[in-house]
Homo-oligomer: A and B are copies of this chain.
């Protein structure tokens, strides 16, 4: 199992919509994540800086392949077409990233 942390901005005028959407994420989207090894996934919000921090655990052998499969799920694409416009990616992120992945500097079981 590997733990991932990631960060992205949220548009101030879209925070309510983002919360509303994430209070009832589409079951197909959750199923695709689960089926591809994503577990214990949380998103936290910091206002007024308007940052979203994501944490999840990946149970599997190859996260980049899993992420690719997740991104190819049609329902997930529909979901992201609704949620991505709420977000504002970090100016500094790796090529190809939407959420900016963060290296871990500490872990305690």
Contact = CB atoms under 8 A, between A and B. Distances in A.
Given A30-B108, A109-B40, A92 B55 contact: no
Protomer copies: 2
A82 interface: no
Interface residues of A, number: 39
Contacts of A79: none
A106 B6 CA distance: 14
Nearest to A43: B106
A108 B45 contact: no
Contacts of A44: 5-6, 55, 102-105
A98 interface: no
B106 A22 contact: yes
